[in-house]
Amino acid sequence: MFQSMPLWPARASTLANDVDALYIFLIAVSALMSVLIFTTVAFFAVRYRHRKGQHAEPIEGSHALEITWSVIPFCVFMVFFAWGAKVYFSERKPPQDSAEIYTVAKQWMWKFEHMEGQREINELHVPLGRDVKMIMTSQDVIHSFYVPAFRIKQDVLPGRYTVAWFHPTRAGTYHLFCAEYCGTSHSGMVGSVIVMEPKDYEAWMGGGGSQPLSVTGELLFNQLGCATCHRKETQGRGPSLIGIYNRPVLLEDGRTVIADEDYIRESILQPAAKIVSGFKPVMPTFQGQISDEQLNALIAYVKSLSGPASPSVGKGMAAATAQP
C-alpha cells in the first residue's frame, strides 16, 4: 500500500534535492517547536495548577529569558531566509548554455517549440543531463507551469515572458500540470515531460523534418518587410539588429534597457513604448497581426544575429522605426 503512495514525488532534477532539503528542514523545525511549546504548556498547566490555600505570586520577568527566546527564533528564521534565498536564486538563474524551448500556454493546452523547429502539444521531449530553459508566455489568461518531479513552478503570463529552467537527472516520463486556475477545464490542462537518453533524443530530434525556429523567423522578418528598415549592411530607418540581443539599448529619454525577449516583444507590439535614441517613432504596431508563435520565431531570429557588433549596436531594436 505504502509503495503505491510515496511520501515524495520522484526527484528528477538537480533542483529537487535542494528544494526537498529546505522543505524537510522547515517541517522538522516546525515540528520541534510545536513539541517544545505544547510540552511546556502541559508542564506549566500541571506544575502551576490551582491549589486550595495557595495564592499566585506576581512575577517581575527576566530580561535574559526574553532576549533568549527572541534571539534564538530570529537566528532560526534567518537560516530559513538565507537557505530559501539561495534556492530561489538558483531556480531563477538559468545557465548560459541552456537549450531554449519556447512555450505558449492556452486554454487548455501547452504548446512547445524547440529552437531546432520541432513543435509539440502537451508533450515535451528533453535530453537527459542537459540544462533546459523554458521561455514562456500565455495566449489568454494566467497559467502556471508545474512539474512536481523537477520541483519547479512558474506562472505564465499574457503579454510578457517568464522563464523557468531545469536539469533533468533521470530518464522517464513526468507529469506536467497547470497550477493556476485558468477556467472551467483547468483540471484537464495536463501534459508530460519526457526525459530521453541523449542518443534517443537526437534520433527523435532528427526525425521531425522541421526548419530551425530562427529560419522561420527570418522568413517572416522578410515577409513583413522588416528588412527594409532594419538592414544588415547599411543603416536604415531602424537600427541594425546584429548583436543587439541581451545588450544595453539607449533610449530617447536617456534611459538604458537590456534588449531581452520582453524588450523585443514589446518593440514589435508596442513600438512607441520605448523610442530608441537617434530614431523617430514611425514604426507601426503589429499587435493582433501576428501570433505568439510568430513572435517567438521573430525573437529567435533576432537572437541568432548576436554576432560581431555593428556600428549601431547598442541602439537596439527599433521601437521607433517603420517595420519590426
Whether residue 26 has pLDDT greater than 90: yes
Tell me the CATH class for 1-46+94-210: mainly beta
111 CB burial (10 A radius; 0-12, 13-18, 19+): middle
Whether residue 314 has pLDDT greater than 60: no
Q: How high is the pLDDT of residue 243?
A: 86
Per the CB < 8 A criterion, the answer to whether 95 and 131 are in contact is: yes
**pLDDT tens digits, one per residue of 211-262:** 899 999 999 998 888 888 887 766 778 787 888 899 998 888 889 999 999 9
Strands 109-114 and 143-147: unpaired
Q: How high is the pLDDT of residue 231?
A: 74
> Could you give the C-alpha distances from 37 to 33, 128, 178, 238, in angstroms and in order?
6, 46, 38, 67
- List strand residue ranges (DSSP E) for 50-148, in order: 99-106, 109-114, 119-121, 123-127, 132-138, 143-147
Strands 123-127 and 162-166: unpaired
Domain with CATH 2.60.40.420 in the chain: 1-46+94-210
Domain with CATH 1.10.760.10 in the chain: 213-304
- Rounded distance between C-alpha atoms, residue 117 and residue 119, angstroms: 6
CATH of domain 213-304: 1.10.760.10
For 219, list phi and psi in degrees, rounded to 5: -60, -45
Residues 254, 259, 261, 265: what is their CA dihedral angle, to the nearest 10 degrees? 50
- List strand residue ranges (DSSP E) for the chain, in order: 99-106, 109-114, 119-121, 123-127, 132-138, 143-147, 152-156, 162-166, 172-178, 190-196, 248-250, 256-258
Report pTM: 0.81
Whether residue 318 has pLDDT greater than 80: no
262 CB burial (10 A radius; 0-12, 13-18, 19+): middle
Per-residue pLDDT, averaged over 79-103, amounts to 94
